Amino acid sequence: MNQYNILLDPSKMPDAWYNIIPDLPVPFPPPLHPGTHQPVNPSDLAVLFPPGLIEQEASGQSMISIPGEIMDAYRLYRPTPLRRAFRLEKALGTPAKIFYKNESVSPSGSHKLNTAIAQAYYNKISGVNELTTETGAGQWGTALSIACAFFNMKCTVYMVRVSFEQKPYRRSLMQTYGARVVSSPSNETDFGKKILAEQPNTTGSLGIAISEAIEVAAKSGGKKKYSLGSVLNHVLLHQTIIGQEAKLQMESVGEYPDVVIGCCGGGSNFAGISFPFAKDKLRNGKKIDFIGVEPAACPTLTRGLFAYDFGDTGMMTPLLKQYTLGHNFVPAGIHAGGLRYHGIATLLAVLVREKVMRAVACLQNPCFEAAVTFARAEGIIPAPETAHAIRIAIDEALKCKESGEKKTILFNLSGHGHFDMTAYDAYFSGKLEDIVLEQSVIDAAEQCIPKVAN
C-alpha cells in the first residue's frame, strides 16, 4: 500500500520556532541606519513594528516559544500533510523519492499565514488595531487579511498593479476577509504619486508597494503598524514550523532528505522548509544540498550584488545586507508575482554566500511545464511561484533517472494556483515570454546601491 500522506499527530506540532542566527557560520550582518551606516537600534524599528517582533528580529536564542493563541490559530490547518509524490515519481520514471510539504492547505492557500497570524498577534497584544502591507501575487495580502480578521484588526493592502489587474478574484478574497485593497503605485501616498508622475504605465513592484505601506504606517502617529510578508528574520523564523514538521514526518517513515528545494521571493518559504535541516548541516556536517529557485527575469541570488541595500524602492527601510538587483529595479511582469523582488533575506544571502546553500534561476515556460506535469500526476495546481521549486525538483529527479541514483528529494509546495489561472491560460496559449535579465540592468544596479564601508 502506498502511504501518500504522512500526517503528524496534532499533539506533536512543534511549539517553538527555530532561530538559525546562533548557528550561522559567520556573524549576522546587522541592518544599518541609512544615514549613519551604524547598526539600527531597536527603537528605530518601533515606528513600524511591535516590541515582540523587534525582539525576535535580533534574538540570539535558538528556540523561541510559540504563544498559545498562535498555536490555537495554527491548529486550524496545521500540521500540514507531507506527501510522498509516488504518482509524480512514476510519471517521471525516476528512482528518486520525492516528498513535498503541502502548505497550500492553509485557508489562505499558502505558507504566508504562518507568519501573518504571528505578526497580527504581536501587534494586537501591543495595542495596535490596524496593519498596512504590500502584496505581489496576492497570497501574502490574503494571509494578512485572514489574520487581521482573526484578531479583529483593520488591514490595508497595497497590491502591485500588474497582479491587481491579473488577479481580480484575489482582490475579492481579501475584501471578503475585511481588507481594503489598493492598486500600487497609488495616489494615496507621496511616494506612489511620485512614481505615477514619473512612470504612469509602470507595472508596479513589490519594492514600490512596500514603500507605500511603510509610508502610511510611519505617518500614522503609532496607530498603524507595517507588516512584511518575507525577508526579515522574524518572518523567516515563523516559517520554520514547516521544516520542523517535515523533519518529524520524514523521521516517522525512516527518511531524511538529500536535497531540499524551495522557490525564493524574499526567501521565507525556502527558509521555512530548509532551516531546520540546515541546522544538521551547520552543527553536525550533515550532507544536504539546499537549492533556492528564482526566476531568470529576477535573478537576485544567482546574479545580484552582495551588498547593503534598501528593502524598498522609496529608500525608507534600514539598509539590509543581501543579494540585490538594486532597490529601484522593476522586474518584468512575469506571472510569479511573489518572486518579483529585487532583494533577498539577509539570512539566505549569508547562507548562499557561505556555500551552505545554493541557488538556480529558471525561465517561466519550463516552470509552467513542470507545474502541469505535477498537477496531472498529483492533482494539485501549484502557484506560479511554487512551480519554480517543482521545476528543479523534477530536474533533480530526472538526473537520478540518468544516473540511477536514489536520492530523497524534499520540496516546499508553498501555495496553490487557484487564483492564477490567467497565468496558466497564457501558458497554454503560448503567450508566456521567457525572459532572462540583461547584464546591463545588473551593471546599472551598482550605481543605485548605497556606498557602505563594511
Binding interface with ligand PLP (CB under 6 A): 110, 136-137, 139-140, 230, 263-269, 338-339, 383, 385-386, 414-415
* DSSP structural state of residue 21: G
Nearer to ligand PLP, 140 or 164 (CB): 140
CB 84 within 8 A of CB 76: no
Per-residue cell: 264? 525564493
The residue (of 114 and 249) whose beta carbon lies closer to ligand PLP is 114
Least distance to ligand PLP, CB of residue 111, Å: 6
Nearer to ligand PLP, 212 or 400 (CB): 212
Separation of alpha carbons 105 and 384, rounded Å: 16
Between residues 257 and 266, which has the closer beta carbon with respect to ligand PLP? 266
Please, are residues 339 and 265 in contact by the beta-carbon 8 Å criterion? yes
Minimal distance, residue 190 CB to ligand PLP, in Å: 26
Nearest approach, Cβ of residue 415 and ligand PLP (Å): 3
Compute the distance between CA of residue 56 and CA of residue 132 in angstroms, rounded to an integer. 20
| 308 within 8 A of 321, measured Cβ to Cβ | yes
**Residue 366 exposed, middle or buried by CB count within 10 Å (0-12, 13-18, 19+):** middle
Q: Which residue is nearest to ligand PLP (CB)?
A: 338
Nearer to ligand PLP, 94 or 386 (CB): 386
> Taking the complex as a whole, how short is the minimal distance between the CB of residue 264 and ligand PLP, in angstroms?
5
Q: Please report how close the Cβ of residue 222 comes to ligand PLP at its closest, in angstroms.
A: 27
Residue with cell 531597536: 42
| Minimum CB–partner distance for residue 368 and ligand PLP (Å) | 14
Report DSSP state, residue 110: B
Closer residue to ligand PLP in complex, CB, 94/163 = 163
Grid coordinates representing 278 are 540546515
User: CA of 392: how far to CAs of 45, 208, 345, 359, in Å?
Assistant: 37, 30, 21, 10
Cβ neighbour number for residue 433 with a 10 Å cutoff: 12
Closest to ligand PLP by CB, 196 or 357: 357
- Measured from the CB atom, the residue of 258 and 420 that comes closer to ligand PLP is 420
User: Least distance (Å) from ligand PLP to the CB of residue 235?
Assistant: 7
Residues 6+ apart with CB under 8 A from 14: 66, 241, 244, 245, 248
Q: How far is the CB of 68 from ligand PLP (least distance, A)?
A: 26
**CA 111 from centre of chain:** 8
Taking Cα atoms as reference points, which of 116, 175, 178, 176 lies closest to residue 153?
178
